[in-house]
Structure 1
Amino acid sequence: MSIRVTSGMMNSQLLSNLNRNNYSMNKMENQISTGRKLNKPSDDPVGVTYALRYRSDLASNEQYKTSTDAAIGWLDTTDTNMSQASEVMHRIKDLTVQGANGTLPQSGMDAVDQEIKELKQLLVGIGNTQIRGKYIFNGQQYDKAPYQLTDTVLNFSDINPDTAAVEYSIGDEVTFRMNTSGSEFFGTSTDADNVFKVLDDLSAALASGNTAAISAQLVNIESRSTKMLASQTEVGARTNRIELVQNRLTDGNLNLTTLQSKVEDADIASLLIQATSAQTIYQAALKSSAQIMSTSLMDYMR
């Protein structure tokens, strides 16, 4: 059975097709002008889900990268100051050997003692090093200088800096310790080779001219120097690890950005070709529809 096609049906179909073509052109022009395939959720609901996930992952990576940058700064500062402290220890050892050889007059020992006291103050300054207002050798009490004398604490050798870990989040459920306590590096109040106790005992021996007591400190100086080197080696290992994490985060950002671009960014070259084709089709549809829709009753009476 044939279906009767009325003028109203033809007009409705023509208008529907024209509107669809016009909508398609408008959508492509909007993507070209914004450079994005996704301008509203309805453009691609599934794609929007992926895009939001990629954005969330990128934001997390950027936060972790900020943490690794801060950790690198902290570790570099720690390593530099540890190197300076090791150089001071080498000088202290040389001075101790000079004082213990038995050939120096008391005036010479007094001069060595004076330099030892200056080196002690230099080590105190290293122990109170800060980065961005935080004391790097005082654990979680980084808002306080670890090596300060008070009415109750008269000797630096009696001070025990905080040993709690300062940790940064560098990944999903991954934390990283970046600090070294002054108790570990310079020694605790109970350590025989606490660097400040060694220097105090060395100064007393130099002041009294006791070469045997001076020589006895060489063992403690060597012991503390070895422990300082071990702490610095650990800082180096931490630095290597955080640099690897930093590189991984950078690579992750690149991969996520590429995936995000594939989901969100428009292919301008392809869209320009499609838009030109759609415009040609639309113009042809307008022309043909104008001819069809202009038919009147007079055309049927001819």
Structure 2
Amino acid sequence: MRVTQSMLAANSLRNLSKSYSDMGKYQEQLATGKKINRPSDDPVVAIKGMFYRTNLTEVEQYKRNLNEAYQWMESSEQGIEHATEVTQRIRELLVQGNNGTNSSDDLKAIAAEIGQLKEDLAGVANTQVAGRYIFNGTKTDEKPITVNGDGSLTFDMNTEPFNVEVSKGVQLKVNINATNVFGSDFFNTLDSIEASLKNGDMSNGGQLLSDLDSQFNTMLAERSEIGARYNRLEMIDARIQDQEIIANRILSENEDADIERVITELTIQESIHRASLAVGSKVIQPTLIDFLR
């Protein structure tokens, strides 16, 4: 087969074009730090990258869910802590009113303080986090306790668990059973204590004290339960953080370019390109235009 001058020129131009394309690829990898910049560069790497990014997106969503779970649990625990402190104060006042040395005015003063503490507890029961009532189960848009104009209370408590997905297939309850802390039985006990003090009749003081202690123990049990769930949440959080580190490492190994290797390949390709230009200028014969210069 006869090799013509046009064939030499065409081959030379095709090889130079490929050389430019290779240099462009390495320069793009160097600029972006990625092995591929479009799926056609390496379909296998691209498909794996989509899978790894999906896993990483899931982990990031679970981290956001964990933050919400922390917020609910910490706010709930804080509410229970405040309720126990108020209950302890009410118990002190009840013991003081039950010692038989108080005048009727003294008992009324104690009753007035207990009334204020009762209203404070109702306010804590209506605690909101990000506009949602955390002590009303799944009815987060409704108050669990409504304070009426005459000072009486209306209860509409929902005890259904409010679950948050904190890991793949793992739902964790983040609310408490508010009836164990702010239930109607507890407030009925407080009403009875307040009424006895106002009437100056503490003959049932021992029974009231026993009922209050029972409610207090129920509060402590609920606080222990949310503490146990909080510990589990921290363990899940640690595992999610490990998963995020692993997912980022795998994604980096799959997509990130080896910069040292890319620089070396680019340098080699530039050398080859310069050599191709030099050889091409010698192989391709001069044209008539060159003689007319």
TM > 0.5 fold call: yes
| Number of the residue aligned with 1:229 | 220
Equivalent pairs, count:
287
The alignment status of 1:249 with 2:230, answered yes or no, reads no
Task: Read off the aligned partner of 1:274 and give its amino acid letter.
Answer: E
Q: Is the 8 A contact 2:181 2:219 kept in 1?
A: yes
Task: Read off the aligned partner of 2:115 and give its amino acid letter.
Answer: K
Deviations 1:128-166 (A, max 9, x none): 111111111111111111111459x9843x625111111
RMSD across aligned positions (CA) = 2.2
- Which of 258, 267, 276 is equivalent to 1:285? 276
Task: Read off the aligned partner of 1:217 and give its amino acid letter.
Answer: L
| Number of the residue aligned with 1:263 | 254
Q: Is the 8 A contact 1:96 1:215 kept in 2?
A: no
| Number of the residue aligned with 2:43 | 45
| Number of the residue aligned with 1:138 | 136
| Number of the residue aligned with 2:291 | none
- 1:26 deviates by 1.4
The separation in 2 between residues aligned to 1:103 and 1:84, in whole angstroms, is 30
Task: Read off the aligned partner of 1:276 and give its amino acid letter.
Answer: T
The separation in 1 between residues aligned to 2:273 and 2:155, in whole angstroms, is 85
The separation in 1 between residues aligned to 2:140 and 2:24, in whole angstroms, is 59
Deviations 1:102-135 (A, max 9, x none): 1111111111111111111111111111111111
Q: Is the 8 A contact 2:122 2:182 kept in 1?
A: no
The alignment status of 1:209 with 2:177, answered yes or no, reads no
The separation in 1 between residues aligned to 2:147 and 2:179, in whole angstroms, is 16
Task: Read off the aligned partner of 1:166 and give its amino acid letter.
Answer: F
Q: Is the 8 A contact 2:66 2:237 kept in 1?
A: yes
Give 5+ residue unaligned stretches, structure 2: 288-293
Task: Read off the aligned partner of 2:169 and give its amino acid letter.
Answer: E
- SS of corresponding position for 2:145: coil
- SS of corresponding position for 2:172: strand
- Which of 146, 166, 171 is equivalent to 1:170? 166
The separation in 2 between residues aligned to 1:41 and 1:202, in whole angstroms, is 74
| Number of the residue aligned with 1:299 | none
| Number of the residue aligned with 1:76 | 74
Give 5+ residue unaligned stretches, structure 1: 297-302
* Match runs of 1:57-206 below 5 Å: 57-149=55-147, 155-156=152-153, 159-187=155-183, 189=184, 194-206=185-197
The separation in 2 between residues aligned to 1:46 and 1:22, in whole angstroms, is 25
Stretch moving more, 264-273 or 85-94: 264-273
Stretch moving more, 11-20 or 249-258: 11-20
- 1:231 deviates by 0.7
Deviations 1:58-108 (A, max 9, x none): 111111111110110111111111101000111111111111111111111
- 1:14 deviates by 4.0
- SS of corresponding position for 1:165: coil
| TM-score normalised by structure 2 residue count | 0.90
- SS of corresponding position for 1:164: coil
